[in-house]
Amino acid sequence: MDRIAIIGGARLEGEIPISGAKNSAIKLMAASLLTEDALRLTNMPRLADTRFLGKLLERLGTEVVESEGADGPETLLRTREIVSAIAPYDLVRQMRASFNVLGPLLARTGQAKVSLPGGCTIGARPVDLHLQALEALGVQIDLHEGYVYAQAPRGLQGGPIDFPIASVGATEHAMLAAVLAQGDTVITNAAREPEMIDLADCLNKMGAKVSGAGTATIHIEGVSRLHGATHAVMPDRIETGTYALAAAMAGGEVRLTRTRSDFIQALLDKLSEAGVEVTPHNDGLTVKRNGARLRAVEVDTAAYPGFATDLQAQFMALMTLADGESVIRETIFENRFMHAPELSRLGADITVSGGEARVRGVDALEGAQVMATDLRASVSLVIAGLAARGETMVNRVYHLDRGFERLEEKLSACGAQIRRISGGGDEE
Ligand code: UD1
């Protein structure tokens, strides 16, 4: 299993190009099931998660062709015919977002059997809202032996979908199904994350009629068929925020390009409050910090446009060296502080109680062996390692490979002393 070794203390200077958004790319890939024509996705991130979904789509009948286009990595997806409407446990369990193939399979074939994703390390994460949305579209659902058996014998029927809580995955799933339903669908209390807009834009290019994405109410006028399209995946706002935090932690000046600063405004406000200089520009932003110690600031995670839960672990890493006590409240997921004990191994002073972590800034961190527990937690350990004295060894980095493209390359191009050690055992 690969590990990542970091020698802390190097300032970061240079430019980091941001990749296409993982969380958007995987929903866009699922959208390709909705048409027999080709969907060409540009600005595709090359990640374990996108490769993994590609494998599942191939099982369902999609041809998946990756190539290097004029503007970076592309993927061409074409599902002439659904050859299987079954998504088995061994594939869905590895990536929760695979569950989102259920809606498109139903829209295209009227029936599907998809495994329940099961729990995961950041809390229970049920799919009740996904199923509620599909039922509102006339789908009959039975649950047996860990599988969802879903049928829409008369096709999907548009209808009102009112979510009790805003869910990113369920809102996207509802859109993916309702675009081919008969009649109109109105989704209320929809998630407002920028990925909703990216998915709606792509679906509209394919001939769908979606409006209001990015607001709490989304209107969808069902159409009878969709066609092929070309769509550029939006920039990854979590990767953008992560490198902004890396630069703030290590010190120096880093220009983040091919991205948008407005997607991470809540983080940028907190960075400024903490004493980091942030300058937005047309193509992204520049993050700068010279010498002075950062101030501790409080953060509550929230749905967009609030502070992203996917940046909470990385922000906690930054706060370990700030002056004073920072209170970080996680409001989206239960059990999302697994990085806290690992950061403590590096010398951080953190107390977790329920959904709240108190981080008392220390003068220095010291490198140690640590273990990645989930995607965002693992990158928080890398960020801490950039500023820790001596060597930090991050074990179990397959989590990182799910969501961060060429992380060591991007950071070392800015002067970080970071390298991947392939194979070998880890500390388990
Ligand atoms: C997506 C992102 C993830 C991010 C999260 C919140 C992807 C692939 N993942 O996850 O990186 O951290 O949004 O921004 O896009 N819930 C239910 N029932 C459901 C669905 C969700 O109770 O059927 C709950 C969840 O347990 C959680 C909350 O709703 O407490 C929000 O989850 P949701 O927005 O659905 O997150 P994901 O789509 O899983």
Three-state SS for 147-213 is: EEEEECCCCCECCEEECCCCCHHHHHHHHHHHCCCECEEEEECCCCCHHHHHHHHHHHHCCCEEECE
**Which residues are designated catalytic?**
120
Give me the pLDDT at residue 427, please: 41
> In the 8-state DSSP scheme, what is residue 45?
-
Which atom of ligand 1 is least distant from the CA of 168?
34
Instruction: Please identify, by atom number, the ligand 1 atom nearest to the C-alpha of residue 132.
Output: 23
Domain 22-223 has CATH 3.65.10.10: yes
- Could you check whether 3-18+235-421 and 22-223 share the same CATH topology? yes
From residue 35, give the alpha-carbon distance in Å to each of 55, 80, 192, 213: 18, 8, 26, 21
Q: Is the dihedral of CA 310, 146, 177, 129 positive or negative?
A: negative
User: Which atom of ligand 1 has the smallest separation from the CA of 195?
Assistant: 15
Please count the residues of the chain. Answer: 428
Q: State yes or no: cis peptide before 305, omega within 30 of 0.
A: yes
- The pLDDT, as a whole number, for residue 120 is 54
- Centre of ligand 1 to C-alpha 168, Å, is 5
Question: Which one-letter amino acid corresponds to residue 246?
Answer: A
Dist. CA 119–CA 98, nearest whole Å: 14
Ligand 1 centroid from CA 171, angstroms: 10
Residue nearest to atom 25 of ligand 1 (CA): 125
Atom 36 of ligand 1: nearest residue by CA position: 168
Q: How many CB atoms lie under 10 A from the CB of residue 428?
A: 7
**What are the average pLDDT values for consecutive 10-residue runs of the chain, which has 428 residues?**
94 98 97 98 95 95 95 96 94 88 96 82 77 97 93 95 97 98 98 98 98 98 98 98 98 98 98 98 96 94 97 98 98 90 97 96 97 87 97 90 92 97 62
Q: How close is the Cα of 195 to the center of ligand 1, in Å?
A: 13
Which residues line the pocket of ligand 1, CB cutoff 6 A? 23, 26, 97, 123, 125-130, 165, 167-170, 191, 309-310, 332-333
Give the chain's end-to-end CA distance (angstroms, integer): 11
Distances from the Cα of 196 to the Cα of 42, 104, 366, angstroms: 18, 16, 41
Maximum Cα–Cα distance across the chain:
66
Alpha-carbon gap, residue 317 to 321, rounded angstroms: 8
pLDDT recorded at residue 118: 64
With contact defined as beta carbons under 8 Å apart, do 385 and 8 qualify? Answer: yes
Nearest CA to ligand 1 atom 5: 168
- 144-176 burial, b if ≥16 CB within 10 A, otherwise e? eeebbebebeeebbbbebebeebbbbbbbbbbb
Contact 163, 133 (CB under 8 A): yes
Interval between CA 97 and ligand 1 midpoint (Å): 10
Cα(125) to centroid(ligand 1), Å = 7
pTM of the model: 0.96
- Cβ neighbors of 144 (< 8 A, separation 6 or more) are none
For the chain, domain boundaries: 3-18+235-421, 22-223
Structure tokens at 341: 């004990």
Residue 124 pLDDT: 61
Residue with token string 């992380």? 407
Give dist(CA 40, CA 37) in Å, integer: 10
Q: Which regions of 31-172 does DSSP assign to beta strands (E)?
A: 38-42, 63-69, 72-78, 86-87, 111-115, 140-144, 147-151, 160-162
Residue closest by Cα to atom 22 of ligand 1: 126
Cα–Cα distance measured from residue 104 to residue 79, given in angstroms and rounded to the nearest whole number: 11
Looking at domain 3-18+235-421, which of 3.40.50.150, 3.65.10.10, 1.10.101.10, 3.60.15.10 is its CATH number?
3.65.10.10
